[in-house]
Amino acid sequence: MIRLGAGPLDRIVAVGAHCDDIAIGAGGTLLTMCTARPGLRVDALVLSGGGGEREQEELAALAAFCPGAELGVTVLKLPDGRMPVHWDEAKAAVEELRARTEPDLVLAPRTDDAHQDHRGLARLIPTAFRDHLVLGYEIVKWDGDLGRPNAYQPLTPETAEEKVRLLQEHYPSQRHRPWYDREAFLGLARIRGIECHARYAEAFAVTKLALKLGD
């Protein structure tokens, strides 16, 4: 297996359609990066959930998932499940984020995610972040849309367990969901770990990758 590093990571952008998307899809990766590189700048944008309990959950959760980071979080109030008809607002928010940051890495939903909000946001990202490495994270759901990822971030057992603990601690509004449990999160992480010769991992889809093998 070839491992290509992305070089120094100083600025990260993480985007989600809903509060908890970023933490579910890339929480272990954020923990790994922020722990290894104190002072990392993380700019997060979430399209829905603003102004209520969900926003407060998200602010506390992302602070916990990004220890030691310089963190900025914006949570908007677009209605859940209606992102396609709020395309202009979503695009404006993504473009505003792009105007104030030059990230080394973008964490976003997958372009083939079955949820229309996730998929719509994913398709917006390359219109603003044209020359950036974008990792499309996955979210387990009843749609059965998990595919064959092509990028992996191994997680230590301690990081995988911490991710699950933080998800349970910081999103009490989601605990009633039948898929929102330790078995689901660790089970997927274990499968992705097998695929990259690790105990646990988070997996991502990369649609375009520019190499600098001669540098």
Task: Provide mean pLDDT across the span 156-169.
Answer: 98
Q: Which pLDDT belongs to residue 215?
A: 61
Sequence-distant (6+) residues with CB within 8 A of 147 are 110, 112, 138, 205
**For residue 161, what are the contacts with CB-CB under 8 A and spacing of at least 6?**
186
CA distance 124 to 114: 15
Q: Which two tokens stand for residue 197?
A: 């010769």
Q: Residue 81: what pLDDT?
A: 79
Q: Evaluate if residue 6 carries a pLDDT over 80.
A: no
Mean pLDDT (the chain) is 93
| pLDDT at residue 108, rounded to an integer | 98
Q: How far apart are CA 166 and CA 211, in angstroms?
A: 35
DSSP β-ladder status, 11-16 and 41-46: parallel
Q: How far apart are CA 206 and CA 215, in angstroms?
A: 22
Reported confidence tier of residue 80, pLDDT bands at 50, 70, 90: confident
Domains, in order of start, for the chain: 8-140 (3.40.50.10320)
83-103 mean pLDDT: 93
pLDDT in tens, 20-37: 999 999 999 999 999 999
Burial 119-149 (b: 16+ CB within 10 A, else e): bbbbebbbebbeebbbbbbbbbbeeebbeeb
| pLDDT of amino acid 5 | 53
Cβ–Cβ under 8 Å, residues 207 and 108: no
DSSP assignment letter at 79: P
Share of the chain above pLDDT 70, in %: 96
